[in-house]
Chain A
Amino acid sequence: MANVSMTVNGRSVSGQCEDRTLLVQFIRENLGLTGTHVGCDTSQCGACVVHVDGKAVKSCTMLAAQADGSEVVTIEGLASGGELHPVQAAFREHHGLQCGFCTPGMIMSAVDMIERHGGQLDEKTVRAELEGNICRCTGYHNIVKAVLDAASKMGDGAKVAAE
């Protein structure tokens, strides 16, 4: 058994789990944060994307023990003080979600993408950067629109965060 401690959404948490426990299982089952989803077994769909130490990773492809001592942000930790993150707001405004299942991973990937590119994104780049996130409902059209809009709104702010 592994004793795992980490900071999740700004809160220190710890728990005991089998060594084989995936980070996504720890988040969903031990912490009860069920916004992070599992949509495949082959590390491709991206429904499980969270940020670990500031980087988007697939929480289905990381052991909870590997994340011991890390800082984790999940979809539940993105909005602050009741204020939606600009990416969350853009997904709603542009109808970038339908069934909502891929949405948490999609949003976490989008935030990471915008920060890495400093808000400087075009459609082709957004589509390429979404390679690791599969959506079956939207045809991606409105997701791309939402990411581009959020990037332009975050603009310079995103750039600062990236640097």
Chain B
Amino acid sequence: MGMEGVGARVARKEDKRFITGKGKYTDDMVVPGMKQAHFVRSPHAHAKIKSIDTSEAEKMPGVIGILNGNQLAEDAVGNIICGWMIHSKDGSPMNMGAWRPLAQDTVRYVGDAVLIVVADTKAQARDAAEAVVIDYEELPVVTSAVEALKDGAPQLHPEAKNNQIFDWEIGDSAAVDAAIASAAHVTEMKIVNNRLVPNPMEPRAALGVYDEGEDHYTLWTTSQNPHVARLVLSAFYNVAPENKLRVIAPDVGGGFGSKIYIYPEEIVCLWASKRTGVPVKWTSDRTEAFLTDAHGRDHVSTVKMAFDSENRITGFKVDTIANLGAYMSLFSSSVPTYLYATLLSGQYNIPNIHANVRTVYTNTVPVDAYRGAGRPEATYLVERTMETAARELGISPAELRRTNFVREFPHQTPVIMCYDAGNFEASLDASMEAADYAGFEARKAEAKSRGKLRGIGMSCYIEACGIAPSAAVGSLGAGVGLWESAEVRVNAVGTIEVLTGSHSHGQGHETTFAQLVAERFGVGLDTVSIVHGDTDKVQMGMGTYGSRSGAVGMSAIVKALDKVELKAKKLAAHLMEADEGDIVIENGELKVAGTDKSVPWFQMALAAYTAHNMPEGMEPGLKEGAFYDPSNFTFPAGCYICEVEVDPETGKTEIIQFVAADDFGNIINPMIVEGQVHGGVAQGIGQALLEGTHYDADTGQLLTASYMDYTMPRADDLPSFNVSHQNTPCPGNPLGIKGCGEAGAIGSPPALINAITDAIGNNDLTMPATPQRVWAALASAQ
């Protein structure tokens, strides 16, 4: 490892523009003639649209146009798609209702878009939107998935009887029932995984530009995957042909899943730019973000875990109801199925697992992948149940986990996944040592003397990143392949551009991807540029989500680098009249091993472009592309320990320490990886302690639609984190890396709730553990 190569703590290249205010986000874009949009949204959670009158609004100052869903239909703009087909256990396909980008007849959640108003200024567009008169006939509302499944509940879509989208299962139900029947002990729990609002700090935005002269469209948008956006905008939404559409996702201010999807607003702004003849920009405000960005989680589950007389798990049965909101978002069906139930084996050797999942429509914001996507839900069930079982069995939580750890690899679970590598005990040992687990009882006694209740909890998580291989996910219903592309261009002066289909919205790709190149060719980081986020520059890519950019995106770069290296060595061997097999690349030079002969990297590059002296049959230039399709998921795993103090008078929880010991395989830039863990853990703590999403059950109004009511983690809610890494390299990809983006959000909620329930002596506690809830749980425990 050099100072800038793989494994080095390199400060980020992209930071310069961000710390000086020179980042360029979608809302910063200005194009000539640009106008501003405001969406008219449903104030009702469920209603029929009886009439729309825009006559007064159209006369308002600055108004360019007001467009509706019928006009969208006239132009054959398609329904919003769900990209993953799931079949119910009876073999029937999922019951999907139509989602129009602008509602025509019925609105199904507060915030459902009905009209777009385009005007000279944002304020004028909003003024005009308020002058629109829409006559609604209100319909009955249901916001809880459990309630929505009941007979007589309000019906959202004619396609989905009792609002059920599918009733899916995985695993062997009879075998699990038999294990439970013959168990020495069974732990049973009812567990709620609370709905979350992603809240990247940059609100979504879109700028659609139609160029009549070229009959060409450009969309600037806040996207984690601009190529997927281009694909669906052309293939499914019929807004523009793929070859006439450029999608640019410039600097993007966080995503966490919520910017994967192609929402109504992006479709409509692009379409409206042609309809109105002006460039149309829309920027969400925060309340709109609460009302329209896809939410996360929202599961209600019952679990039964069976143990034999030696405390070995013999079976795990899960029944889950998942709320998918008013419409099926792009990957909504995959989250509570293949991204969820396939992780129910946790880090443990469990011979029998069965999960049944019912997904449900409700009058709420659509639910889709949010940091972790299914894996936090699975981990929460497994790790809350393990901790509870240890308490019931009267053995230490660590001991119960050790008894059941998977220790031989590869390990085939009963729920599809085949774990390729891991050392779960190493992470457990590391975190217990870092947390001084042994000293906890003394700390607890000291806290008690101050009137505080101290508790400790752990969580041993495993997750799956880099969804793959494409053929396998295709067979499970995915509508896309999940490979990644890369192109490495060595310029004539030796500088290098790497074009990637991954997208960076905070992950630091401009640095880590460049480190990979610096390591390989011994060139300076400054001579390497990473190009991403523009479909005119990068041909195709699948984007960044599911912690896939390292394991999949960088592997594609490695494949392209392999090809470049091969050609560079051939050329250098020719230039130095040496054998190709003797060429080594070191410190920016191509050398003949064992001699003092060398060619500087830039000279070799120049030779490739002057092409005056090439090997027989070699094409000029030095540019190679690659597509990489992984052979398996990767399996990051680790152990988190949380220690808390609860103030019994107020129920307020203070996190005293949070220890994360993760095994991400090999690491390119430890500083960036630690940052990912910090952020993930903070979001997990947010879910467990702070972030509650509340709907009014009668009206379907979102009661937590701003930071006045939705508790975002702030600096004084969190401690500094104690982060360390263990390393069992991933055998499945050339870099041996597993992915680190979501682990923190996956592993932390059960650790925190296990700690609080330990402190208060009441295991019945629902996330988020607000002061009021903890206070009430304490009162009922007494």
Contacts and interface: CB of A to CB of B under 8 A. Distances in A.
A26 interface: no
Contact of A34 (B18, B21, B706): B21
Contacts of B199: 136
Interface of A is mostly: loop
Contacts of A131: 714-716
Given A34-B28, A100-B14, A139-B681, 20 more contacts: A37-B25, A37-B202, A39-B286, A40-B707, A44-B708, A75-B19, A78-B20, A92-B11, A98-B508, A99-B505, A100-B15, A101-B200, A101-B202, A127-B715, A134-B707, A135-B201, A137-B675, A139-B682, A140-B682, A140-B718
Query: Which one of A41, A47, A84 has the highest number of Cβ atoms from chain B below 10 Å of its Cβ?
Result: A41
B506 A95 contact: no
Residue in A32, A40, A135 whose Cβ sees the most chain B Cβ within 10 Å:
A40
B15 A91 contact: yes
Best-surrounded residue of A39, A100, A104, A145 (most CB of chain B within 10 A): A100
Interface stretch (B94-102, B248-256, B394-402): B248-256
In this complex, the member of A33, A44, A128 whose beta carbon has the largest number of chain B beta carbons within 10 angstroms is: A44
Contacts of A47: 201
B22 interface: yes
Contacts of B12: 92, 95
B79 interface: no
Contacts of B286: 39-42, 45
A136 B254 CA distance: 8
Contact of A100 (B30, B251, B287, B712): B251
Given A93-B11, A95-B672, A138 B679 contact: yes
Contacts of A34: 21, 24-25, 27-28
Contacts of B408: none
Contact of B20 (A75, A99, A102, A143): A75
A-B residue pairs, 8 tightest by C-beta: A35-B21, A101-B253, A100-B18, A139-B682, A99-B506, A75-B21, A98-B506, A139-B678
Contacts, number: 176
B23 interface: yes
Size band of the interface chain A makes with B = 35 or more
A98 B505 CA distance: 8
Contacts of A40: 286, 706-707
A138 B675 contact: yes
A28 B21 CA distance: 11
B706 A41 contact: yes
Contacts of A44: 707-708
A20 B123 contact: yes
B587 interface: no
Nearest to B676: A98
A76 B21 contact: yes
Contacts of B16: 92
24 contacts: A28-B28, A35-B22, A42-B706, A44-B707, A45-B707, A75-B20, A88-B19, A92-B15, A92-B19, A95-B12, A98-B679, A99-B254, A99-B506, A101-B23, A101-B200, A101-B201, A102-B201, A104-B18, A126-B715, A127-B716, A134-B201, A138-B679, A139-B682, A140-B714
